[in-house]
Amino acid sequence: MSRTRTSRWLVAVPMGLLALATIYPLLFTGNVAMKTRREYVLDRFSLAPAARWDNIVGAWTSVGMGRYFLNSVVVVTAAVVLLLLLGSMAGFALSQIRFRGSSVLFLGCLAALFIPFQVIMVPMARVMADLGLIDTYPGLVLVYVAQFLPFTVFLMTSFYRTIPPEIIDAARIDGNSVYGVYRRIMLPMGTPALLSVGILNALFCWNDVLIALLMMPSAEHRTLMVGVTALRGQYSADIPTFASGVLIAAAPVLLLYLFLQRQIADGVTAGATKG
């Protein structure tokens, strides 16, 4: 017994070091954001003398991170709401209603899961340009919805399959239309899945850079991640401002993680075990 206890601690030490290596880069960045340029150049590792927010305020206001933040919030919110709405509607129909062609449609969604954005990037840019949607918010939202819809439909269908058909039959006997069942039964009962799929989609959209770069060429339409890449070029000599921009971009994800880690992990494993 004591032998296994010692060996457990022997394993825990390197694992602890790895944990440190996992969080240290972000702590380092946070510390740099609180330092002046001079302090950073003189000693990269010393702790900032105090929690100073000048760099972060500067990055938010004068560098434009505030504007980019707002752009990201608007686009991600619109995309996630649409994804959950369309995904739950389709998921309900594909899982609980028998109709001609339903299995073909489901297979179509499954096939679309295996098409990464890189593969359709060129024609997508053409189609969006033809529709006049390049450099517009609706255009970016539409591409995000298209990108993450197969995954959303797939997970919502799997979730709704676990709801017993008797519940729907009962609601139908009570005089609900199919749409009434969707609104009064499926949407409320789908809350846990909608929450978890919604969080994942929000992360995917918030973290994306490739689609945003392709769709939003002008500076005032940048999303936050594109803003960070631009910051790298402009402020390569001003490391504290650069670090502040990175911190602003990471902060919402950090908060989300602190409060909803369970749901994120569940969403990832649901995606993993089901698709």
Partner 1 sequence: MRGERLAPYVLVAPAILIIVALRLWPLALGVNFSFTGDGDRDGAVVGLDNYIDLFRDPLFQTALRNVGLLVLLLPIAVAIPGLLATFIYLRVPGHRFFRSVYFFPAVLSPVIVGAIFNLLLAFDGPLNAVLGTVGLGPVDWLGDPDVAMFAVVGVHIWATFGMALVVFLAGFATLDGALLDAARVDGASLPQVIWHVIIPGLSRTIQFVFVTTMIGMLTSMFGLLYVMTSGGPEGSTYLPEYFIWIQQGQMNRPALASAASTVLFVIMLVVGLLQLSLLRRAVKES
Residue 47 DSSP code: P
State in angstroms the smallest separation of the CB of 145 from partner 1.
6
State in angstroms the smallest separation of the CB of 195 from partner 1.
16
State in angstroms the smallest separation of the CB of 66 from partner 1.
17
**Six-digit token string for 54:** 């000048």
Q: Which residue, 126 or 220, is less far from partner 1 as judged by CB? A: 126
Residues between 137 and 166 that touch partner 1 (CB under 8 A): 142-143, 145-147, 149-150, 153
Q: Judged by CB under 8 A, which stretch of 50-58, 160-168, 187-195, 238-246 contacts partner 1?
A: 238-246
State in angstroms the smallest separation of the CB of 172 from partner 1.
9
Q: Judged by CB under 8 A, which stretch of 46-54, 56-64, 174-182, 190-198 contacts partner 1?
A: 174-182
Residues between 64 and 123 that touch partner 1 (CB under 8 A): 86-87, 89-90, 92-94, 97, 99, 102, 105, 108-112, 114-123
Q: Judged by CB under 8 A, which stretch of 54-62, 63-71, 162-170, 171-179 contacts partner 1?
A: 171-179
From the list 95, 260, 243, the residue with the least C-alpha distance to 182 is 95
Q: How far apart are CA 28 and CA 46, in angstroms?
A: 10
**Residue 230 in contact with partner 1, rule: CB under 8 A:** no
Q: How far apart are CA 18 and CA 12, in angstroms?
A: 10
DSSP one-letter string for 213-266:
HHH--SGGG--HHHHHHHHHHHTSS-HHHHHHHHHHHHHHHHHHHHHHHHHHHH
State in angstroms the smallest separation of the CB of 232 from partner 1.
6
State in angstroms the smallest separation of the CB of 28 from partner 1.
7
DSSP one-letter string for 135-204:
TSHHHHHHHHHHHHHHHHHHHHHHHHHTS-HHHHHHHHHTT--HHHHIIIIIHHHTHHHHHHHHHHHHHH
**Residue 255 in contact with partner 1, rule: CB under 8 A:** no
**Residue 38 in contact with partner 1, rule: CB under 8 A:** no
**Residue 57 in contact with partner 1, rule: CB under 8 A:** no
Q: Judged by CB under 8 A, which stretch of 46-54, 58-66, 159-167, 247-255 contacts partner 1?
A: 247-255
Q: How many residues bind to partner 1 according to rule CB under 8 A?
A: 92
3-class secondary structure per residue, 70-124: HHHHHHHHHHHHHHHHHHHHHHHHHHHCCCCCHHHHHHHHHHHHCCCHHHHHHHH
For tokens 């028998």, name the residue.
98
**Residue 133 in contact with partner 1, rule: CB under 8 A:** no
State in angstroms the smallest separation of the CB of 13 from partner 1.
10
SS3 62: coil
State in angstroms the smallest separation of the CB of 209 from partner 1.
5
From the list 199, 216, 103, the residue with the least C-alpha distance to 152 is 199
Q: Judged by CB under 8 A, which stretch of 57-65, 161-169, 190-198, 209-217 contacts partner 1?
A: 209-217
Q: According to CB under 8 A, which one of 36, 207, 238, 263 is a site residue for partner 1?
A: 207
From the list 72, 220, 236, 70, the residue with the least C-alpha distance to 140 is 72
